[in-house]
Amino acid sequence: MKSFALPPIRNLKTDLPASLSLVIVAIPLCLGIAHASGAPIMAGLIAGVVGGLIVGFFSESNLSVSGPAAGLTTICLTSIASLGSYQGLVTALLLAGLIQIAFGYLRMGFFSNYIPTAVIKGMLSAIGLMLILKQFPHLVGYDSEELGAEDFSIDNEEIVANVLPKEHENTLSHLLHAFNYLNYAVMAIGIVSLMVLVIWELKFSKKYKMIPGSLVAVLGGTLVSLAINYFIEVNPINEEHYVNLPNLFGGEVHESLITFPAIGFVVHPGFWKVVFTLAIVASLESLLSIEAIEKLDPHKQRIDGNKELIAQGAGNMISAAIGGLPVTSVIVRGSVNIAAGAQSKWSAMLHGFFILLAILFLSKIINQIPLAALAAVLCYTGFKLIHPENFKEQFARGWYQFIPFVVTIFAIVFSDLLIGVLIGLFVSSFFIVRENYQSPVLKVDDLGLRVRIRLGNNISFLHKYQIIKVLENIEPNVVIEIDGSELQFIDPDILDVLAEFKSRCKEKNIELIIGGIRNMDTKDEINEQIEKSYKKLFENNRNWVEKRIKADPEYFQKLTNGQKPEYLFIGCSDSRVPANEITGTDPGEMFVHRNIANMVVNTDINMLSVLQYSVEVLNVKHVIVCGHYGCGGVKAALGENPLGLIDKWLRNIKDVYRLHQDEIEAIKDPEEQHRRMVEVNVKEQVFNLMKTSYVQKNRELYGFPQVHGWVYDISEGYIRDLEVDVDKDLMDHSIYKLK
């Protein structure tokens, strides 16, 4: 771990004002959380000091701020009840901090790296919404609930004693109830503070960067409060509407200032449950907060979650040792810190120092700050967190981002931070699984009697059903090639699926070829089949020779005298279109050239050499371009998938499509479109033949070769003559005619 160091002193010009803005918000939060936790008031302030000074120093984050956590109030309440005293809680917290440090050294901070952005942004928006919902009553003078409360439900401990009876059960009913208890003087303070903050941020923040708007707003609200109290004889603003920091030297604190841990609690039956609960929940909340602060950080600093756990653990051990509440990184404080213009950890550390200073010497001054002014700052912070632009951005990313975002917001608002995030993670995981299931982890090339299945990099159990579905849809009597050459990981469940499919291939007469999958390849079996099929060729050859000699003993001797083919056949390489077989010609009667999609390309030296030899040397009488329906080359050319080197060849077919695009697209039936494309491709290749000097020269000199365009119908076996009239259709284009 790198050595700890203080930030540059030059940052104080922005961090000092930011820390002042932070401390005036932090003190009421510390007091409120302590009250809501059922702990001594000083426990919250101690946690605030430790969170600022200790965690602020050890943390790697420049902008996060730690302090007592509102999300742990319920755990603190139940822990105090189960252990019998607050002393039991601080004892458990001491060991929980040690466990947090162990978590850090065990590198368990990785958890924060797996929280989806949609959940993080939903968490920020939810906190913003809760700030507005919770602080609005304070803004209008209804201060019945503690300032630091965050849960949707409202417990008795969160109700300020001797203010108003608990006539509501949750945040919404509390919000509605506030309208029945409006305090117009307090509301004036809140509205003025909010207006000052908004105007400052819009008009003056760039010019006076060193002065945070929140500090100006609180100062403005305090001045309005002083003016109201001075000019109005009957004081409409009671003490419950102000910060209530206890005076250590004025006899206000009747409880012991510091509650020390006691080792005797370790034998309590429920002690270790409390220890691990505090360690786990505090760690999760800190990691979530750090991840959220990273999203808000204008400099996008990346924080090591493991180092943060160590810093938080150290903070909790020290806080527990001197009687403080649990400490975590707190999003609200970090948000206020960023909004106030903080640049480094000086702000968090100074805020801890100022809390200590306020406890010792400044309680009377701090207590002049109206809660309505603080509520205005928190409402404005909440609005920035829940900015409508966030909803627009998440919606633009698609439903798989927007739904977890919205669910996280509602889950946090109606429960608490940790439960809400867990619900958001569950929903987000559902969409992640769904996206993984639908992602193209395999590519299927259906080549008729041959199907090639190419597997992606990582095949997990999430893709099991997808692969089963593909394999079940394969027809009998085909060759299946499964290519795993790109595989980096394959789940054992998928191997079981492939093994089961392999066992059923024989009954469906499927030839299965597997390559690139460890312990699953079929090389030995395939090599045996290959050897047999190769030897079969020689056996076929012997049978053919015997048959020919039986019919004509001089047959092969006659072939040695030379060849006089009458035809040049330019056909497709497709194995289903054998030139001699479909035309019933014997060896020596037809000169043959074949390529993909029976193309005549003016840059193809191979084809042009065959053409020149057959026309000028062999003097063939007919040159035939023969295509066939169901041509794979034509189909591939009309597709959009890149195929590598062959794309350069298929581009010639795309050029044919461009010439006949209107005609082809006017045909609605895809099968008929393909058949017509095969036909026009043959015609264009016939025209390409007529553009060559060899054909033109021989036709001018001898009147041949005649040039024909055929299409072979594989489904019927018949050849169709397209009856291309080259003299009529091509020779009008005199630019191609050579002399």
- Cα separation, 679 vs 445, in Å, equals 25
Using pLDDT thresholds of 50, 70 and 90, give the confidence band for residue 254: very low
Q: DSSP code of 616?
A: I
> Tell me, which fold does domain 563-736 have in CATH?
Beta-carbonic Anhydrase; Chain A (3.40.1050)
In order of 74, 83, 270, 323, the CA distances from 78 in angstroms are 6, 9, 11, 17
- Cα separation, 221 vs 369, in Å, equals 8
Active-site position among 15, 483, 574, 593: 574
Residue 597 above 90 pLDDT?
yes
Q: Is 576 a catalytic residue?
A: yes
Q: Which three-class secondary structure state does DSSP give residue 183?
A: coil
614-656 pLDDT tens trace: 999 999 999 999 999 999 999 988 888 777 888 899 999 999 9
- The residue among 241 and 587 whose pLDDT is bigger is 587
At residue 245, the pLDDT reads 73
Q: Which of 7-16, 584-593, 730-739 shows the lowest per-residue confidence on average (mean pLDDT)?
A: 730-739
In order of 341, 383, 460, 694, the CA distances from 209 in angstroms are 7, 21, 52, 84
Task: Write down the mean pLDDT value for the chain.
Answer: 84
Using pLDDT thresholds of 50, 70 and 90, give the confidence band for residue 336: confident
Using pLDDT thresholds of 50, 70 and 90, give the confidence band for residue 403: very high
Q: Which three-class secondary structure state does DSSP give residue 712?
A: strand
Active-site position among 30, 76, 379, 572: 572
Residue 611 above 90 pLDDT?
yes
- Cα separation, 511 vs 502, in Å, equals 9
Supply angle C-alpha 365, 367, 370, rounded to 5.
115
Partnered with residue 482 across adjacent β-strands are: 453, 514
Residue 162 above 70 pLDDT?
no
Residue 190 above 70 pLDDT?
yes
Residue 511's identity, in one-letter code, is E
DSSP string, 404-466: HHHHHHHHHHHS-HHHHHHHHHHHHHHHHHHHHHHS--EEEEE-SSEEEEEE-SEE-GGGHHH
Active-site position among 434, 450, 504, 576: 576
What number is the average pLDDT over the span 2-19? 80
**Domain 442-521 is of which CATH architecture?**
2-Layer Sandwich (3.30)
Residue 155 above 70 pLDDT?
no
At residue 499, the pLDDT reads 85
What number is the average pLDDT over the span 548-577? 91
Contact criterion met (CB below 8 Å) for 590 and 583: yes
Element (H, E) at 514: strand 511-515
CA-nearest of 161, 203, 139 to 32 is 161
Active-site position among 76, 379, 626, 631: 631
Q: Is 676 a catalytic residue?
A: no
Q: Is 622 a catalytic residue?
A: no
Residue 151 above 60 pLDDT?
no
The pTM of the whole model exceeds 0.85: no
The order of strands in the sheet holding 442-446 is 442-446, 450-455, 479-483, 511-515
Active-site position among 593, 628, 674, 708: 628
Element (H, E) at 593: strand 590-595
Contact criterion met (CB below 8 Å) for 374 and 25: yes
What number is the average pLDDT over the span 15-27? 86
357-378 pLDDT tens trace: 988 888 888 788 888 887 887 7
Contact criterion met (CB below 8 Å) for 351 and 22: yes
78-95 pLDDT tens trace: 889 889 899 999 999 999
Q: Is 628 a catalytic residue?
A: yes
What number is the average pLDDT over the span 55-59? 92
At residue 631, the pLDDT reads 92
Q: Is 572 a catalytic residue?
A: yes
- Cα separation, 98 vs 18, in Å, equals 31
Q: DSSP code of 116?
A: -
278-298 pLDDT tens trace: 998 889 888 888 888 888 888
Using pLDDT thresholds of 50, 70 and 90, give the confidence band for residue 157: very low
Residue 544 above 70 pLDDT?
yes
At residue 4, the pLDDT reads 61
At residue 158, the pLDDT reads 46
At residue 164, the pLDDT reads 44
At residue 161, the pLDDT reads 42
At residue 105, the pLDDT reads 93
CA-nearest of 256, 356, 290, 314 to 93 is 314
- Cα separation, 358 vs 363, in Å, equals 6
At residue 243, the pLDDT reads 76
Q: Which three-class secondary structure state does DSSP give residue 212?
A: coil
- The residue among 457 and 575 whose pLDDT is bigger is 575
Residue 118 above 90 pLDDT?
no
Domain spans in the chain, listed from the N-terminal domain onward? 11-389, 442-521, 563-736
- The residue among 170 and 402 whose pLDDT is bigger is 402
Residue 732 above 80 pLDDT?
no
